[in-house]
């Protein structure tokens, strides 16, 4: 089916915007739909339609201050193919109201519900992500795992979409997820048209790794990239190298070969560097006792931490903190 052929049914998407929602993933998702829905940038809703749903018609303020007005009440969710919840600042009190939570729970029984950016926190809080693999940004991984320890969460992938649930880390990956839906529900031609107008060379797949480089290590291999992100996300409760290898889909020996090629070091050595760099950050930004910092970066006691730190940096943690404080002044503690 080409872009000129109408699909059997129009793709319909409803958006729920949380208080202080992040504007960029919402804009990229909805603009991908807009550009896929018609030809020549006419913005016609030929192949897709979308609404911003809310319990009131009051404007919803984004995290950057720009406001969006709802276009529809909380109508029957079965009128849509997807409901997309766009999250924002995690410190916002009651990001959506009780009526909207009830609407999402009802929607979850009938159609595919997607959490965009921190919208997945809202879905998890509503009990809608149980038994579904969830993708969150490396930036929010620690808080998600602390709040929802029983949910299978991935910090390396950019999005996940199954038959009834979806999760997307936000930012530009919102366009990738929207493009996947367009390709599946409208056509590949419509998907290509949308991406070309958005100046996106290719749509990334759910297997693509989040763009994050701990220690500024440049690695071309996606398995190494994923392993680095997992190291950074598992510092207090460290993974052994076999677990790390299994998490990225290779054997321990394969992972060691990949690290030797891409990072000129072993996974274990790099993992320790990641932990010790986090320790330096904590020493600089807090006045916490050494034992607290040691535990937070995966050591069982402060003496082992101190010996390892001195071996790596030539100073004990206490002396390093004092030198750093003298060098940078009070900002070293305040961050």
**Tens digit of pLDDT for each residue in 43-88?**
789 999 999 999 999 999 999 999 999 999 999 999 999 999 999 9
Q: How much is the pLDDT for 104?
A: 98
Same domain, 120 and 236: no
Same domain, 299 and 180: no
Same domain, 46 and 185: yes
**Which strands sit side by side in the sheet containing 82-86, from one edge to the other?**
48-53, 11-17, 82-86, 112-116, 165-168, 159-161
Interhelix angle 188-197/173-185, nearest 10 degrees: 150
Domain that holds residue 252: 214-268
pLDDT at 20 over 70: yes
pLDDT at 301 over 50: yes
| Mean of pLDDT values over 211-227 | 83
> Is 5 within the bounds of a domain?
no
Give the separation between CA 315 and CA 33, rounded to whole angstroms. Answer: 55
**Tens digit of pLDDT for each residue in 138-190?**
889 889 988 999 998 988 899 999 999 999 999 999 999 999 999 999 999 99
Q: How much is the pLDDT for 334?
A: 37
Q: How much is the pLDDT for 335?
A: 33
Looking at per-residue pLDDT, the higher value among 329 and 238 belongs to 238
> Is 207 within the bounds of a domain?
no
How many domains would you assign to the chain?
3
pLDDT confidence tier of residue 8, bands split at 50, 70 and 90: low
**What's the pTM?**
0.77
> Is 206 within the bounds of a domain?
no
Same domain, 155 and 278: no
Q: How much is the pLDDT for 217?
A: 76
> Is 202 within the bounds of a domain?
no
Q: How much is the pLDDT for 116?
A: 97
- Cβ distance 201 to 263 under 8 Å? no
DSSP, residue by residue, 243-294: HHHHHTTS-HHHHHHHHHHHHSS-HHHHHHHHHHHHHHHHHHH----HHHHH
Q: What is the CATH number of the domain that holds 284?
A: 1.10.10.60
Same domain, 222 and 285: no
pLDDT confidence tier of residue 279, bands split at 50, 70 and 90: very high
> Is 93 within the bounds of a domain?
yes
pLDDT at 1 over 50: no
In three-state secondary structure terms, 160 is strand
pLDDT at 4 over 50: no
Domain end marker among 197, 226, 243: 197
Domain end marker among 197, 223, 258: 197
Same domain, 190 and 228: no
User: What percent of the chain has pLDDT above 70?
Assistant: 95
- Cβ distance 43 to 34 under 8 Å? yes
Domain end marker among 253, 268, 283: 268
> Is 2 within the bounds of a domain?
no
Looking at per-residue pLDDT, the higher value among 111 and 286 belongs to 111
Give the separation between CA 276 and CA 294, rounded to whole angstroms. Answer: 9
Same domain, 143 and 250: no
Same domain, 48 and 142: yes
Q: CB count, 10 Å around CB of 202?
A: 10
Same domain, 290 and 245: no
Give the separation between CA 181 and CA 56, rounded to whole angstroms. Answer: 28
pLDDT at 33 over 50: yes
> Is 236 within the bounds of a domain?
yes
Most confident region among 91-95, 214-218, 248-252, 329-333 by mean pLDDT: 248-252
Q: What is the CATH number of the domain that holds 81?
A: 3.40.50.880
């Amino acid at each position: 089916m080409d872009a000129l052929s109408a699909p059997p049914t129009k793709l319909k998407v409803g958006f729920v915007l949380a208080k202080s929602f992040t504007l960029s993933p919402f804009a990229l998702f909805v603009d991908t739909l807009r550009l896929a829905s018609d030809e020549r940038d006419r913005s016609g809703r030929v192949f897709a339609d979308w609404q911003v749903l809310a319990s009131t018609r009051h404007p919803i303020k984004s995290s950057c201050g720009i406001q969006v007005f709802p276009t529809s009440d909380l109508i029957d969710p079965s009128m849509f193919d997807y409901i997309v919840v766009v999250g924002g600042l995690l410190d916002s009190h009651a990001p959506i109201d009780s009526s909207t939570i009830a609407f999402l729970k009802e929607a979850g029984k009938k159609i595919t519900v997607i959490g965009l950016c921190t919208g997945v926190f809202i879905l998890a809080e509503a009990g809608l992500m149980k038994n579904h693999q969830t993708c969150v940004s490396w930036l929010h991984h620690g808080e998600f795992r602390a709040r929802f320890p029983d949910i299978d969460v991935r910090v390396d992938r950019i999005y996940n979409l199954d038959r009834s649930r979806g999760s997307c880390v936000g930012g530009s990956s919102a366009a990738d997820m929207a493009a996947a839906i367009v390709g599946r529900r409208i056509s590949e031609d419509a998907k290509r048209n949308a991406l070309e107008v958005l100046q996106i060379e290719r749509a990334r797949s759910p297997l693509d790794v989040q763009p994050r480089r701990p220690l500024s290590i440049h690695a071309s291999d996606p398995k190494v990239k994923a392993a680095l992100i997992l190291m950074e996300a598992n510092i207090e409760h460290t993974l052994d190298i076999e677990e790390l290898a299994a998490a990225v889909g290779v054997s321990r020996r394969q992972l060691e070969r990949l690290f030797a090629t891409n990072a000129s070091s072993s996974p274990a050595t790099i993992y320790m560097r990641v932990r010790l760099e986090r320790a330096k950050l904590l020493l600089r930004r807090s006045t916490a006792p050494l034992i607290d910092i040691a535990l937070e970066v995966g050591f069982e006691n402060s003496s082992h931490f101190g010996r390892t730190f001195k071996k790596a940096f030539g100073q004990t943690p206490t002396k390093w903190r004092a030198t750093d404080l003298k060098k940078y002044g009070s900002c070293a503690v305040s961050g």
